[in-house]
Structure 1
């Protein structure tokens, strides 16, 4: 896999501070179904930063979070296949910090999606077992870099995988190995790859496939100014994926530059009303196709922090979901994530 410069938008705390909001519906239980932690040249986002975002402006009721693979704290030494175990160790350590209660009531990193190399096929089993030994019950899934596009203008990750990785039998064998351990597969791909993802998901019906970030409808590079065509192709591909009962959808990640929104170029950060208007069509299409019981909101922090603060982001999601039923709201904000990643929710007060 090729390593390139991280393409994420920079986090500008002084700019974000120009837009402050108080949390709406602060008693609604939320499982943040997707976030990262890292310490890189491009920025630091660790336990203290996560805690600060969760508690900001009165705070939303984040009861639990799902840590997702981002190549943080890989082991520097030892066999190449075992290096991702370091990331699981790191996330588990942060989970222990929050489980102590010293960082508030949120159970951060209660579920961990690791990064064992699934192209090892069945040989990935010892790596998975090492991660399980390290994390105990917290390891719930795996994710490998899969987002690929021929255009250099379409980049959302510092890792560019082989273009045909999902089609390789070794990778598919690794995915099927997850079923043995009851682990899910998280997948971040662009809308141009959704048909390949359908074939992968259909080949592993016993594995739950979680589609990250709306399934990546692109708005940059060759897709700039092509929103109608992109939306039609994206919707058709998602409809096929939704027909597979082992698929789930994460609602979030549209703060990334590849979606084509221009929030980061504005003098002021967007309000939750502005974000809700922009993102509602994405949410509504996904919920229509998959149903609320198979959809879950995610922050994608700190990546999406390039365009919005944590409180504003969750306010936007709450505005978008304002017209759904009680049960649908509970599914979108906590129950789908809890079911998918095997989390126990505290008593709900919605």
Structure 2
């Protein structure tokens, strides 16, 4: 009886959490995170990486030269399977409620505990993989943060996969979701993800 009550209680919590996540995702697609947080009276805050980038502005060297960015990544830890072991809806709620600095510190503490080697790659002040960085953010960087300074003339890019850890699909299909995401970005931003460096596991027994 007690087990049934506990299960019922948690199922209700999960249902509420999932509903909140769906609502947040719906609003996120139509309103910027900053505007949505402002409307709800939540604190506004830049990501540590953005604070660092905003410290200085300069014109790009030879801004008229056409450039193909041959290696870049895109990520959104709120919705993409990164192997964090946390439900997607819980991550969306977490990223919405807490500010960038708190999220950065929380994940930094987790990294120090579980895999401190990661911090040696990026330093402890800013962890770029905790900050959503998709087509909109990449476009902003290409445009030199929409400042008066001229940005680079990026005409095409090559997306390099980041090894999604999607446990909801067959092993042979794990690379498909990330490739599909890159194709969606290309549909919205035609100069991005014009090519993809993907992967396929040729060691699987059913591969011919």
Bigger relative CO (Cα 8 Å, ≥ 6 apart): 2
Q: For the pair shown, which has the larger CA radius of gyration, 1 or 2? A: 2
More strand by share: 1
Provide TM-score, normalisation by structure 1: 0.28
Provide TM-score, normalisation by structure 2: 0.46
